[in-house]
Structure 1
Amino acid sequence: MKDIFGIEFVPISPGTFMMGSENGYDEQPVHQVTISEPFYMGKYQVTQAQWRAVMGNNPSRFEGCDQCPVEQVSWNDAQEFISRLNSRVDDEFRYGLPTEAQWEYACRAGTTGDYAGNLDEMAWYSGNSGSKTYPVGQKKPNAWGLYDMHGNIWEWCQDWYDSGYYAKSPGVDPRGPEGGSDRVHRGGGWGDDGRGCRSALRGNYSPGNRFDYLGFRFTRTPL
């Protein structure tokens, strides 16, 4: 579906999956998570053109490519972008960053391995990127029709980061710890090797950090 701003979303149905992996200390334990409500996930990472249309500027290092993902945006910047969109819509739904659980559920798209498919076919990463970003949607999507969930740029999530959160997180709709110093980001980017683009890999930065490999996509959720 395409919304009134021309941003495309993919419907994600409720379901249960195994979150985490045995490959990283903060990815353990592997645990069952249920996403109890449907939501819409951005089909693509937010582009430079979309950012400029809402914010009136383009902070990206790799500028001059309207369909490339916007980068050098902090978690706080992403929240401002989303707030501006929410101020223009009615009360039937809201935009937001995905929770970490929503993000991994959507990334995996029913898979259980390190990636949702063949990494070279699905991702721009250090093995094929030439150290830059690319227009969104050029690689193959995952089974649910989402593009660039692996690679191109890292994506901010809503949650605070806690390396030990999985040992105590709820099994239904986890939303991260109550507070912290860093926010979660996911997916890997153009400068990461294959390990850095795994479905379960967790990253964390201060919400004010900006890097040329860090951007976002967002959700649309009925109220």
Structure 2
Amino acid sequence: MDLTRTYAEGDTLKDLNGHDFKLFGLDYTELVYVAARGKTFTMGDNNSGNEDEDETQITFDHDYLIGRFAVTQELYHYVMGQNPSEFIGKHRPVDAVLWGAITHEFLPNLNKKLRKTYPNLQGRFALPSEDQWEYAAAGGQVWNSPKLEYAGSNNLHDVGWFRDNSDKKSTFPVGLKEPNALGLYDMSGNVWEWCQDDYKANLAELPKSGLPAPNQKGNSKVLRGGSYFNDRINCRVRYRISRSPVNRIINYGFRLAFSSLQTETNL
């Protein structure tokens, strides 16, 4: 992976030969550059009627990379040697995965494998912070255009799998719908995506740097994006839920974030 070149917002990370970098050569593992450093972003939506979406401003102190797709079952199995998912398919998002299994098992294993291949790599993979997730889902620098309800459109059918087009039966392979402005797929619908942060009932309590809120053992964690099983409202970019990190639910998945500032949880 080549982090020495200059990337613009929405560029795909390249390998040393100039081709799109894929984790371990697997499909649907590309990473998108998010040039957020110095950008002030308004999180939340004062018009939603949900108190935990009251708007607050954060200013990123870093750029980061984020997965173009949710983590697939193929990648999860490659790293872990097993697959916890209910709806089997190598290019479907991994589902029914615990926050703790991600942070204490998958991510350390992933980072260990990558450090063997790239010993001079500065940075690591982690779950995205809630700030990173919402900024990317909203389309990065285009967020201050008229706000879109969903990640890439005001028509959820265009960009996401939800109860009206999934019959509430199962997840779908990643990347079948349209991407958002950053080229990210399935950030509305398909599977809920775990964030690294503890849940804060007030967005103003989140760090203003864009990094995750400190984790406290036993606290509820944040999920974003809605799923194939949910209504439209749950798939809104700014909709938030909190769940116990020991919840294993068949519509919970995740995507990766990477930066030199990302940290692994210390729980």
| Same fold per superposition (TM over 0.5) | yes
Equivalence for 1:67: 91
1:162–1:177: 8 Å Cα contact kept in structure 2?
A: no
| Equivalent AA in structure 2 for residue 33 of structure 1 | I
Kindly provide the CA deviation profile for residues 1-28 of structure 1, in whole angstroms up to 9, marking residues without a partner as x: 3244232100000122210112111111
Q: 2:148 aligns with which of 91, 95, 113?
A: 113
Q: 1:12 aligns with which of 34, 37, 42?
A: 34
For structure 1, which segment, 107-116 or 174-183, has the greater mean C-alpha deviation from structure 2 after superposition?
Answer: 174-183
CA RMSD of aligned residues (A): 1.6
Kindly provide the CA deviation profile for residues 38-79 of structure 1, in whole angstroms up to 9, marking residues without a partner as x: 11100100111111111111111111x110001000101111
Q: 2:133 aligns with which of 103, 106, 111?
A: 103
Bigger strand fraction: 1
CA distance in 2, matches of 1:32, 1:178: 21
| Equivalent AA in structure 2 for residue 124 of structure 1 | W
CA distance in 2, matches of 1:93, 1:174: 14
1:86–1:94: 8 Å Cα contact kept in structure 2?
A: yes
Q: Within the alignment, does 1:123 sit opposite 2:123 as a pair?
A: no
Matches within 5 A, 1:91-170: 91-109=121-139, 110-111=142-143, 112-115=147-150, 116-117=152-153, 118-131=155-168, 132-164=170-202, 166-170=203-207
- Structure 1 residue ranges without an equivalent (≥5): none
CA distance in 2, matches of 1:123, 1:151: 5
For structure 1, which segment, 204-213 or 133-142, has the greater mean C-alpha deviation from structure 2 after superposition?
Answer: 204-213
- Structure 2 residue ranges without an equivalent (≥5): 1-12, 14-20, 262-267
Q: 2:107 aligns with which of 82, 89, 108?
A: 82
Equivalence for 2:8: none
Q: Are the structure 2 counterparts of residues 113 and 54 from structure 1 closer, same or farther at C-alpha, using a change threshold of 3 Å?
A: same
From the CA coordinates, give the structure whose radius of gyration is larger: 2
CA distance in 2, matches of 1:57, 1:169: 34
| Equivalent AA in structure 2 for residue 8 of structure 1 | E
For structure 1, which segment, 178-187 or 93-102, has the greater mean C-alpha deviation from structure 2 after superposition?
Answer: 178-187
CA distance in 2, matches of 1:218, 1:130: 28
CA distance in 2, matches of 1:148, 1:113: 15
CA distance in 2, matches of 1:104, 1:185: 11
Kindly provide the CA deviation profile for residues 101-130 of structure 1, in whole angstroms up to 9, marking residues without a partner as x: 000000001332322313110000011012
Q: 2:253 aligns with which of 198, 215, 223?
A: 215
Kindly provide the CA deviation profile for residues 133-190 of structure 1, in whole angstroms up to 9, marking residues without a partner as x: 10000000000000000000000000001213x2333433252255361111100000
CA distance in 1, matches of 2:205, 2:66: 26
Q: Within the alignment, does 1:25 sit opposite 2:46 as a pair?
A: no
| Equivalent AA in structure 2 for residue 68 of structure 1 | R
Q: Within the alignment, does 1:203 sit opposite 2:241 as a pair?
A: yes
For the residue of structure 1 that corresponds to 2:24, the secondary structure is coil
| Equivalent AA in structure 1 for residue 95 of structure 2 | E
CA distance in 1, matches of 2:259, 2:206: 22
Q: Which structure carries more relative contact order (alpha carbon 8 Å, separation 6+)?
A: 1
CA distance in 1, matches of 2:185, 2:45: 22
1:161–1:177: 8 Å Cα contact kept in structure 2?
A: no
For the residue of structure 1 that corresponds to 2:166, the secondary structure is coil
- Calculate percent identity across the aligned residue pairs: 40
For the residue of structure 1 that corresponds to 2:108, the secondary structure is helix
Equivalence for 1:173: 210
| Equivalent AA in structure 2 for residue 78 of structure 1 | I
